[in-house]
Amino acid sequence: MDKKPIPILDLGPEIEAIWDELMGAVAGVLKSGQFIMGPNVKAFECEVAEYFGVKHAVGVNSGTDALLIALRTAGVGKGDEVITTPFTFFATAEVVSMLEAVPVFVDIDPVTFNMRPDLVERAITSRTKAILPVHLFGQGAEMDPIMSLAKEHGLRVIEDVAQAFGGEYKGKKLGTIGHAGCFSFFPSKTLGGFGDGGLMTTDDDRMAEMARMLRAHGSRRKYYNEVVGYNSRLDELQAAMLRVKLQLIDQMNEGRREVARRYGEMLKGLSAVTPPREVTGGKHVYHQYTIRVAGGERDQVKAALAAEGINTMIYYPLPVHRLPVYDGQFPAMPETERASGEVLSLPIWPSMDEGLQGRVVEALTRSLLS
């Protein structure tokens, strides 16, 4: 049996397939001498806006900054409340706290891992300014009821789409349903760059104008700063390479979906494992393929797979409301806390072959029978 280690993500085949195009893009930027806010950033923004069918796409230097800037353009500030999920990467809540606003966490649905709209409704107060759903692992949150609540209460909705570029909810691209969508181009994402990068989408002219100002130190014109902003520009080299990868995003996402389909077939009959399911009538793009391992055996299973050279990840071992920075400030979130003790993400990438998947599932089965 081939004992070559299996990584959680192998970017090699994807990069090799477009190596010449990537190198051409890099060479073009180097020869141009334009490295900050050059023509590739502008072209990439236009191409992303066209892909999503929105009026504006504003490149920034990270997914975190996309969230931070989007919340500021939505008017979130000191003392405001933002309802979000505790089962996400820290940045989602971090940006709320950075604005001296208050994150308000609601528990998750145990199947989708996304926030429950009925709990969002109960969490709305006179101080609520925005709702910040996360499309976790590539699956869309239940956006219809969230948008209905926002309309009823006059709230802004900022979508965290860091893990779901190209995903859909009921025929609509994620990131186009709320008032703004926020994306990350961290290398492991479905549309990953070669360093940090991020972007905000919106149909709101005012939000887009303010976002462009905030990313450039709060100025519309250089040296005429109107507000305190950020140095948050998408890098020209990243934009050039992302333009190459954007052309393949649907193909890559379909590759992930096919790998996920095969996993689902292979995992049938393993009663201790709950595979992910597409339940929102949308298109899950499987940024992660995250199973649940019942019976308190998750950590044992992870160790057994590691012993066979199979890399897995736990997203997330500690929910945000239990992190040291927030610990003791928020009530229990039973489903979130249960998920943190059971989730395990298996290796997945668009071109992962069936043989490697078979090794993963065979090792997983052995670990559960031992």
Closest CA to 9 of 163, 166, 114, 237: 163
User: Omega before 326 cis (within 30°)?
Assistant: no
Residue 1: which pLDDT band, with cuts at 50, 70 and 90?
Answer: very low
Residue 280: which pLDDT band, with cuts at 50, 70 and 90?
Answer: low
Instruction: Report whether pLDDT(239) > 60.
Output: yes
**What 3-state class would DSSP assign to 319?**
coil
Tell me the DSSP string of 200-260.
EEES-HHHHHHHHHHTBTTEEETTEE-S---B-PPBHHHHHHHHHHHTTHHHHHHHHHHHH
Q: List the chain domain ranges.
A: 12-246, 249-369
Q: Give the fold, CATH level 3, of 249-369.
A: Aspartate Aminotransferase, domain 1 (3.90.1150)
Q: What is the pLDDT of residues 284-314, one digit of tens each?
A: 999 999 999 999 999 999 999 999 999 999 9
What pLDDT is attached to residue 2?
52
Proportion of the chain above pLDDT 90, given as a percent = 96
How much is the CA Rg of the chain, to the nearest whole Å? 21
Q: Give the fold, CATH level 3, of 12-246.
A: Aspartate Aminotransferase; domain 2 (3.40.640)
Residue 279: which pLDDT band, with cuts at 50, 70 and 90?
Answer: confident
Q: Which residues contact 73 (CB under 8 A, 6 or more apart)?
A: 180, 202, 204, 206, 207, 208, 210, 211, 214
What pLDDT is attached to residue 158?
98
Residue 165: which pLDDT band, with cuts at 50, 70 and 90?
Answer: very high
Q: Give CA–CA dist 87/115, Å, rounded.
A: 8
Q: Which residues contact 169 (CB under 8 A, 6 or more apart)?
A: 135, 140, 141, 143, 177, 280, 281, 282
